[in-house]
Structure 1
């Protein structure tokens, strides 16, 4: 079947892996054609099993010389019929159990990529914008370095000190299983730790520095708790072939591609390597301009150039505290970090449109209505801030309304008055509530077929008595291949949970974490409850629902109804326990699915995840200490950062939410005039998916199933607008890459899109690391102020209202 540019469907999933040559995309052993992994990132839709013909499958691209459907999709073969079509076209159905897994190269590369990744990712949590430490970068770079090590290291037998055991320094070619293990370890360790929020808040806002030992053990405990909870969902979501886990499938396709490149290098693969390193070096050099030398490039505010001292023009055109209208950015961190959209190279075009529409409504419609139309009830101070204020617009003296217990000092609170927040934060709360109920109802309506199928299959397995091992319960080829490897004992998961429980309860008993002991049990229980449904949602739709606000609201309800510490930090200790249980379980399940696709021993995958975390957590804490010691006044809001980067936006939001839900309490908060309508967001979120569902049923050609209300409300609920310089540049770039280039230059797009995605993110992170080591680790070297680095406003909007 030939596909023209006009007929070619746009990529539907967040990570559509495609190749222009059949030998260069990870095709399975029985299939070798070009494919698209594709469906909706977050709509909750699942592959429709009734589609038998490739022409009926959206997003599937095949060669003109196509074999019969029966050869490609042998539905009568019990080894293949349960495996989804998109998995069959990517995952190899053969395995070599003799390939090396644990080697010197694995351990060396694990340290090499986790150390900078854990550093950069944790550091970025204090910045307003950043480019993520891309797992695709790790996957691509480790492939080249591992292959180079296999060709250059001597094959020496090295004896382990104080033992009789030895290992071979170079046991042959760099194996695919080593490669996957390095990437999985980096996925677990080269990330940030959610516990940074309560640790930082305690010191920044309440002057209490938590003991380093308590911090380290608590950070490690919340990670291991999530890994332990993965045991609850793996029975349903990892081995069952009907759950594709599209992020895992995407990475698997890239692993298979790289395996073919190592074994049979082609001119295309050599060009891809050259493009990757050229772009990486170019981005690294370029980022010195917006990040250090010429920060004017961060926000090209054209209206400010026309009227630099006009307050109205500055507010409309400014990208740092303004609406960002007609504003462009040449800073990759601003472009790539446009909230939850993800990289413009990876996110489907239709998703980028939804996200940008949310930005337009947020900043170009609601903001001017608030400033000039009275949308915020007449309180027009700090329209785009996420901090708390008094009625006259001054910083709210939070410590003055707290007793030493701590609790709310009612007398002082009535004297100072209620908490006031910006207009943007208010509707952010409203839409955040809407996104939560929207996701749940959307999952129930659009995901009902897959949910029903899962329940029926589970009942069938129970009735048939096939319950010896997880792999034995499924007769597909992937599980058959995995039967040769011993499974991870349940006791290992229970050990992680037991360790976490003891550590957290011990620290809580010493009152270091500001929460009652019984709320820890509730947090662990709620985390366990959401692992399966939210894991199912992620497995079938590739959408990860943020649940932090709901956890914090629940904690506020509990401590105000039953009693307990009412320090705002407590809400984020609770949220870290409950939220990280889901977040880390999702990481572990996803990486276990990668191990399942790449036929890795499950115990090796388990080790790689725990090992990666043990390396990463101490680095995370070291970064927390460095930031709090060197950037304290900027992060706390005592000084204004002219670049608007070191602002600690997530921590400012955390303090606001904690003060609202814990210290003031939901009942008193929502009784006030300013917040009275906020709970109706839950109702809006619940009503929107049924409307779209029935519209989709009656008008299927209109594709209402792509009008994802959860994504839309998430954007409106999470975007605070402090930095609006990147969205316009991002949507322009997304149009060029994910719409125009994909439809008109598909062959080029297929070869280089994901290479470019990894190179851009890697170049930015390498630049940030160089800046830190060269100019910020020891003696801090500041860039002198000049025209392109104005001390008051780097975008030269001199009349921009502050805050």
Structure 2
């Protein structure tokens, strides 16, 4: 088992691409036992060095350093219009350089205390140590879903819970799924058929970096090494992003069509993308965070399905609704807003009908003006129902037989996967660890709900967790085998809306616990599978996951406080950010859902007496369309009907419930150029540059945003708030005298439109 063999990373990448594309790959079967799954055979080595230790001093230092940076950056982007990300490829590359440097300079002496031996430098920075750093950081470098509860309460209810309660809320929602994973690992990790496809790219990446000769021999543009190429591209993007993010925000929202008729209200609604104004049809963006590196490597069929949904919903359906004023669409001002309105077009204020405990007073609500929403926002919920039902139906129709076959094999076959056999060299995590951890998290969750005024009784929490338990196993099997599966966010808020009408905080809490228990369970299961592929000791994996979750939770909370205090007026909607970058759109959408399903309840908003009772037809539509496509696939066998995934299309149709549809057209262009033309006709170039280039671009853009927030936009002190001088690409006029010159070239001050006026002023 200690025997090593050489790996050709570039060949493995090419083989992985072919496996993903469905092309046949000739493979001379090895005499030794290997995986039953072809893609895994091509990518994952069947050797292991059991002497390598992953939990080292270097791991603790590097994982802490990158976890703090990643959690801060991800939380920062939650409140921004451009949803950038903290690239795990940056972590992999940077931690490799820092880890090897630490291995050269740290003392190698050993200290022994009570029979326990410890060294700051146990040897060369190894591949398992490296992978474990990435796993811990990927756990931490997220924006915890519970942050949406805390920020919504703070911004819209002016209610805060103390730091201890807030951190416990975040930690429990992030960690409940880990206890579930201990029970489900036997079914969703150990069988060879449970591939968890996204891990294969990581396996190739780590093996490429730690195959020293291959890594050093491979040369990029102008003979640069991997690391040199990465840092040069990253630095160039860091400098460039100052232009759209600070110097010339017009380049973020380049709504060029609006310039044709800057005072036409219909043009603004259809073609503006700034500030949640309109649908952004044909809008351009030169901000990389609006495009993202995933556009360069996400499967072409997936992207085309999503973009076709966006075009269908926002470029075709929305103009029809708007120009014909369907359901009084023009009455509510901003067409894609997630806000609530009264039937006469005014903004609905929830504060006037709340009790002291933040529940809705039914008498006050009935005595006042009832609430409604824009047609496009209502359609978002319908599209979500289509996506959920469509995903289940699509998988059942096109992959049901295969899933059932592999599921039976995973349960009944005595032939264990070779990689699972190799993992028997390491002590397994006892089931008791997972069970005890889960019980503690459930207990803390009940305490938070009962003590800190979340409106959700302990038994309501248990219902949310039960719902998650029921759906995690089948959905997890779909994700592991096919790479696709629905979420539980819409279903949980709908169920809670019927259980606890009039209680928006309860709805947010129920949704968060129910959805995140499944999501985090799948995250850990995927990482456990990566640990199997990389031969990392299970107990080290468990420790790294919990460590990352705790670090991420703490710094998510601290960053949230800093940002809300610095940008409160922009995030709660009382003022508009002149740059259009700080909108808090994600939190506004989250709060909007809490009002619809929680405060008012689905019966009021989507009942027979409402305008939007039709949204429930989404379940039937999503369930039926894949059946029709499956039937067509049986008759017209020459067409690959399975590639038309209604779940992905519907996901694109619901992509912008709160507006800000920026970067769509440039993303489509980049997708077609890079994923169609370059991938098909320049395969070697695509293989060599795609992952490292996307990682470098994402990382440089992310650091620009963080730098601007901390040092130029008052992130750490109001004194460090410097606006760039007004000029053509960053024109602002506080008097509103020249709205056509503002960042939003489609806007007109005080709604003084020359054409396309509102039918009734809001």
Q: TM-score, normalised by structure 2?
A: 0.91
Moved over 6 A (4+): 800-803
Partner of 1:780: 720
Q: Distance in 2 between matches of 1:36 and 1:172?
A: 34
Greater shift in the superposed pair: 450-459 or 519-528: 450-459
Partner of 1:509: 450
Q: Distance in 1 between matches of 2:637 and 2:93?
A: 40
What is the DSSP-based 3-state SS (H/G/I as helix, E as strand, rest coil) of the residue aligned with 1:167? Answer: strand
Please, which runs of 5 or more residues in structure 1 have no aligned partner? 1-20, 41-57, 63-68, 337-341, 462-472, 561-565
What is the DSSP-based 3-state SS (H/G/I as helix, E as strand, rest coil) of the residue aligned with 1:673? Answer: coil
Partner of 1:142: 95
> Is the aligned partner of 1:92 residue 2:36?
no
Q: Distance in 1 between matches of 2:676 and 2:541?
A: 37
Contact 2:449 / 2:458 at 8 angstroms: preserved in 1?
Answer: yes
In structure 2, do the counterparts of structure 1 residues 303 and 717 end up closer, same or farther at CA, with 3 Å as the change threshold? closer
What is the DSSP-based 3-state SS (H/G/I as helix, E as strand, rest coil) of the residue aligned with 1:646? Answer: coil
Q: Deviations over 1:35-88 (max 9, x none)?
A: 426448xxxxxxxxxxxxxxxxx23456xxxxxx5x3377xx7x33x5200000
In structure 2, do the counterparts of structure 1 residues 37 and 219 end up closer, same or farther at CA, with 3 Å as the change threshold? farther
Partner of 2:401: 449
Q: Compute the displacement of 1:718 (Å).
A: 3.5
> Is the aligned partner of 1:798 residue 2:735?
no
Greater shift in the superposed pair: 768-777 or 498-507: 768-777
Q: Distance in 2 between matches of 1:729 and 1:651?
A: 26
Greater shift in the superposed pair: 104-113 or 693-702: 693-702
Partner of 1:769: 706
Partner of 1:394: 346
Partner of 1:587: 523
In structure 2, do the counterparts of structure 1 residues 395 and 312 end up closer, same or farther at CA, with 3 Å as the change threshold? closer
> Is the aligned partner of 1:330 residue 2:286?
yes
Contact 1:35 / 1:60 at 8 angstroms: preserved in 2?
Answer: no
Cα root mean square deviation, aligned: 2.4
Q: Distance in 1 between matches of 2:211 and 2:524?
A: 27
Q: Distance in 1 between matches of 2:749 and 2:288?
A: 24
Q: Deviations over 1:679-732 (max 9, x none)?
A: 111111111111111222322332111101001111212322622231001111
Partner of 1:9: none
> Is the aligned partner of 1:753 residue 2:705?
no
Contact 1:232 / 1:531 at 8 angstroms: preserved in 2?
Answer: no
Q: Distance in 1 between matches of 2:484 and 2:577?
A: 34
> Is the aligned partner of 1:489 residue 2:489?
no
Q: Compute the displacement of 1:421 (Å).
A: 1.1
Q: Distance in 2 between matches of 1:647 and 1:632?
A: 10
Alignment of 1:173-572 (within 5 A): 173-261=124-212, 265-268=216-219, 270-320=224-274, 321-336=277-292, 343-377=294-328, 380-381=331-332, 382-461=334-413, 474-560=415-501, 566-572=502-508
Q: Deviations over 1:737-763 (max 9, x none)?
A: 111111121111110000111111111
Q: Distance in 2 between matches of 1:724 and 1:751?
A: 31
Partner of 1:118: 71
Q: Distance in 1 between matches of 2:61 and 2:390?
A: 45
In structure 2, do the counterparts of structure 1 residues 414 and 227 end up closer, same or farther at CA, with 3 Å as the change threshold? same
Q: Deviations over 1:243-297 (max 9, x none)?
A: 1111111211211221224676214275433321111011111111111111111
Alignment of 1:572-721 (within 5 A): 572-669=508-605, 670-720=607-657
Q: Deviations over 1:69-117 (max 9, x none)?
A: 5x3377xx7x33x520000000000111011322222122111211110
Greater shift in the superposed pair: 365-374 or 255-264: 255-264
What is the DSSP-based 3-state SS (H/G/I as helix, E as strand, rest coil) of the residue aligned with 1:791? Answer: coil
Q: Compute the displacement of 1:503 (Å).
A: 0.9
Contact 1:644 / 1:723 at 8 angstroms: preserved in 2?
Answer: no
Q: Distance in 2 between matches of 1:22 and 1:60?
A: 21
What is the DSSP-based 3-state SS (H/G/I as helix, E as strand, rest coil) of the residue aligned with 2:118? Answer: strand
> Is the aligned partner of 1:59 residue 2:59?
no
Contact 1:290 / 1:298 at 8 angstroms: preserved in 2?
Answer: yes
What is the DSSP-based 3-state SS (H/G/I as helix, E as strand, rest coil) of the residue aligned with 1:545? Answer: coil
Q: Compute the displacement of 1:493 (Å).
A: 0.7
In structure 2, do the counterparts of structure 1 residues 557 and 343 end up closer, same or farther at CA, with 3 Å as the change threshold? same
What is the DSSP-based 3-state SS (H/G/I as helix, E as strand, rest coil) of the residue aligned with 1:631? Answer: helix
Q: Distance in 1 between matches of 2:658 and 2:166?
A: 32
Q: Deviations over 1:567-619 (max 9, x none)?
A: 21211111111111111111111111110001111111111111111222110
Contact 1:233 / 1:535 at 8 angstroms: preserved in 2?
Answer: no
In structure 2, do the counterparts of structure 1 residues 597 and 366 end up closer, same or farther at CA, with 3 Å as the change threshold? same
In structure 2, do the counterparts of structure 1 residues 313 and 374 end up closer, same or farther at CA, with 3 Å as the change threshold? closer
In structure 2, do the counterparts of structure 1 residues 551 and 26 end up closer, same or farther at CA, with 3 Å as the change threshold? farther
Partner of 1:36: 17
Q: Distance in 1 between matches of 2:661 and 2:39?
A: 38
Greater shift in the superposed pair: 787-796 or 702-711: 787-796
Q: Distance in 1 between matches of 2:379 and 2:106?
A: 62
Greater shift in the superposed pair: 640-649 or 164-173: 164-173
In structure 2, do the counterparts of structure 1 residues 667 and 587 end up closer, same or farther at CA, with 3 Å as the change threshold? same
In structure 2, do the counterparts of structure 1 residues 716 and 764 end up closer, same or farther at CA, with 3 Å as the change threshold? same
Contact 2:165 / 2:448 at 8 angstroms: preserved in 1?
Answer: yes
Greater shift in the superposed pair: 681-690 or 355-364: 355-364
More helix by share: 2
Q: Compute the displacement of 1:346 (Å).
A: 1.8
Q: Compute the displacement of 1:406 (Å).
A: 4.7
What is the DSSP-based 3-state SS (H/G/I as helix, E as strand, rest coil) of the residue aligned with 1:170? Answer: coil
Partner of 1:18: none
Q: TM-score, normalised by structure 1?
A: 0.86
Contact 2:604 / 2:610 at 8 angstroms: preserved in 1?
Answer: no
Partner of 2:754: none
What is the DSSP-based 3-state SS (H/G/I as helix, E as strand, rest coil) of the residue aligned with 2:216? Answer: coil
Contact 1:303 / 1:326 at 8 angstroms: preserved in 2?
Answer: yes
Partner of 1:17: none
